[in-house]
Structure 1
Amino acid sequence: MANPLSQQISDLLGAPVSALSPLHGGDLSKIYRVTLASGQDVVAKSGPLVGVEAQMLAAIAATGCPAPRVLATTATLIIMEYLPEGPPDWAGLGRALKRLHSATGAGYSWSSDYAFGSVAIPNTAAPDWPTFWAERRLLAAPHALPHDIAQRVEHLSQRLPDLLPHHPPAALLHGDLWAGNIHFTPTGPALIDPASYHGHTEVDLAMLHLFATPGPGFYETYGPTTPEERERRPIYQLWPALVHLRLFGAAYRSMVENLLCDAGS
C-alpha cells in the first residue's frame, strides 16, 4: 500500500513519488525531501497554517528577495521547489534582505494571524509601532508566562513609547530570521519558514543576532548598523526568547531575564 503522504503529493503534482526522506529543521512541523519518478526533487511540509506560509513566501518572492517557489498547497500541506545547498553568501543575504525591507505595507499587521506551534502570533493592525510590539507580541499572552517574567514584560511594555519609534516604515519582514531559516544555495541565499508581517526592519536584524551574528559582507550590502539600533535590539530579541521559553521551557529563562535586564526592565 502506498504511503498516504506520498499518494497525496502524487495526486497534487500529477507525478509518482519514488522516495520520501525527512529533512532537518522540523521542530514545529514535519518536512520531507521528495523525489519524483522523473528524478525531480521537491520539498513537502505539513502543518495547520501552511496556506498562510505559502502567502508569505509569495509576498517575499514578489519583492525580488529569493524564496522557494510554492508548487501546491492544501489545508495541511505545502509543496515547494527543492533548493540545493551552497556556500554561505552573507553579502548576498544583505542585498536580499534590503530588497525585502524596501517593500512596505499600509500599517503594522498581516492579513491573518499565525503561530509558532502552540504560540499564537496575533497580527491585527495597531495604530502605532510601540502599541503593536506591546500588544501583539510581548504581551500577547501574559498568562502563558511565569508571573514574575510577565510583570517585568508588562513594565517594559509600558515604556515602549519612549524606547521605540512610533511610525517607522511598515517594512515587509521575514519575522523569524535566524540562521536556520536562511538557506544558502549555489546561486545565493533564499529565505525559508517565514512568519511575515509588516513592521520595523530592526525586528529581522535583531533576530539575526539572537543566536549568532551575520557573516562578513552582510552590513556592507544591507547598510550600516547604528547605535540606536543596537540599543533597541534586546527589546526585539525578547519576543523570540519568550516564544522559546513557552515552547521549550525553563532552559530559556536565563535568556529572557538577560534580555529584560539589557532592555532596562
Structure 2
Amino acid sequence: MLTDRVRELTGREAVRAVPLGRSHAWETYRAETADGGRLFIKALPEDGTAGADAFPGLFESEALGLAWLGRAFGSPAAEVQGWDARTLVLEWIDERPPTPEAAERFGHQLASMHLAGAEGFGADRDGYIGPLPLDNTRDAAWPEFYARRRLEPFLRRAADRGALTPADVRIVEKVVDQVEDLAGEPEPPARVHGDLWSGNVIWQDDGASVVDPSAHGGHREGDLAMLALFGLPHLDRVRDAYNEAAPLAAGWRGRIALHQLYPLLVHVSLFGAAYRTTTMEAARAALHG
C-alpha cells in the first residue's frame, strides 16, 4: 500500500492518502500523517500499467535534482522527504496567491540559485523532462550542449512523430547550426531548474517554491525564458528583482525565443502538431534575434 511505502521512505505514519489526479504516467496524492503533517506524493500506478523499468531513474533524478538545487543559498527548491524507484515524497506546500512582493522575493531566490553554479554544462547523471529521457552528458560550452543535448534530440523526436514538416526541420536545423553565434557572450554554467514553467512555481507569502525540476548546469536565461513561455504572474517584477541581484547580459530579450525553442520542441514531441506554429515562430525569432 502507498501508506506503507510512505512510512518506509520517510519514517512517518501516513493515515490516509487522497488522490489528486494523474500527470503523464504517474499519480499524485496528498498524504496526511499521524503527526499532523502533510506530504505530496508522486507514484507510479499500483496496477502496473507503468513499471519502474519504463522510467529508470525518474524519481531518483528528481529527488537528487531538488536536493542539488536546495543546497544553493536562498534556493526555492521544495524539500524531499524520501524516494525510491516507484515513489517520490515531498513536504506538502500550501500555495498562496501571487503578489508583487512575493514575485520580487522569488526573483532574488532564483538569482541566488543560479549563481551557486555548476561543475559544467550538463550533469553527472541523465535525467527527464516530463516523461521524456534527457541526455545530460557534459559539454565544455553551452552552445554545444544546447545544440547536441537539447535541440537535436527533440527535433528528431518531433520529426519522427510527423509533427514538423521537412521545411520546419530545416529551419530548426539552421538554429542548431548557428547557435554559437546566437547565444551571446559566454557565461559560466548556472544551477538551473530546467523545466521552470509557471505550473512548477508554487507561490508562498515570501517568494515561491519550485518543483518538478530537470536540474543541470545550464544557461540561466533558459529558466527565465521558460517562465515567460506560459505566463507567470508578475513576471516583470520577478525579472526586475533578478536583474538587481544578477544583471542579465546585454541582448537577453533577443535571446528569449532561442531558449524557448527547446521546451517547445519537447511539447511538440509530447503533444504533436498543436504546438507546431508556436515552435516555428520561436525558431524564426531565434534566427533574427
TM-score under structure 1 normalisation? 0.91
TM-score under structure 2 normalisation? 0.84
Q: Which moved more, 1:77-86 or 1:138-147?
A: 138-147
Q: Distance in 2 between matches of 1:201 and 1:98?
A: 9
Amino acid at match of 1:192: V
What RMSD in Å do the two structures reach over aligned CA positions? 2.1
Residues 66/264 of structure 1: CA separation in 2 closer, same or farther (3 Å cut)? closer
Which of the residues 193, 198, 201 maps onto 1:182? Answer: 201
Equivalent position SS for 1:253:
helix
Residues 23/96 of structure 1: CA separation in 2 closer, same or farther (3 Å cut)? farther
Contact in 2 for aligned 1:86/1:187 (Cα 8 Å): no
Contact in 2 for aligned 1:31/1:44 (Cα 8 Å): yes
Over the matched positions of the two proteins, sequence identity in percent amounts to 32
Q: Distance in 1 between matches of 2:196 and 2:22?
A: 14
Q: Which moved more, 1:195-204 or 1:28-37?
A: 28-37
Q: Between Structure 1 and Structure 2, which shows a larger proportion of helix residues?
A: 2
Q: Distance in 1 between matches of 2:85 and 2:131?
A: 18
Spell out, residue by residue over 1:84-143, the C-alpha distance to the aligned partner (whole angstroms, 9 max, x if none): 112312111101101111111221111111123452211101121111110000002443
**1:195 equivalent in structure 2:** 214
**2:82 equivalent in structure 1:** 72
Contact in 2 for aligned 1:86/1:188 (Cα 8 Å): no
**1:19 equivalent in structure 2:** 16
Q: Which moved more, 1:184-193 or 1:235-244?
A: 184-193
CA shift, 1:150, in A, is: 2.7
Contact in 1 for aligned 2:172/2:283 (Cα 8 Å): yes
**Aligned length in residues:** 262
Q: Which moved more, 1:24-33 or 1:118-127?
A: 24-33
**Mind listing any 5+ residue stretches in structure 1 that lack a counterpart?**
none
**2:52 equivalent in structure 1:** none
Contact in 2 for aligned 1:176/1:194 (Cα 8 Å): yes
**1:132 equivalent in structure 2:** 145
Q: Which moved more, 1:64-73 or 1:174-183?
A: 64-73
Equivalent position SS for 2:23:
coil
**1:237 equivalent in structure 2:** 260
Q: Distance in 1 between matches of 2:279 and 2:25?
A: 21
Q: Is 1:35–2:32 an aligned residue pair? A: yes
**1:87 equivalent in structure 2:** 97
CA shift, 1:78, in A, is: 1.4
Which of the residues 123, 127, 131 maps onto 2:136? Answer: 123
Equivalent position SS for 2:229:
coil
**1:253 equivalent in structure 2:** 276
Amino acid at match of 2:32: T
Amino acid at match of 2:92: Y
CA shift, 1:21, in A, is: 1.7
Q: Distance in 1 between matches of 2:179 and 2:191?
A: 21
Contact in 2 for aligned 1:51/1:76 (Cα 8 Å): no
Q: Is 1:97–2:110 an aligned residue pair? A: yes
Residues 142/258 of structure 1: CA separation in 2 closer, same or farther (3 Å cut)? closer
Equivalent position SS for 1:23:
strand
Contact in 1 for aligned 2:154/2:265 (Cα 8 Å): no
Contact in 2 for aligned 1:31/1:45 (Cα 8 Å): yes
**2:182 equivalent in structure 1:** 163
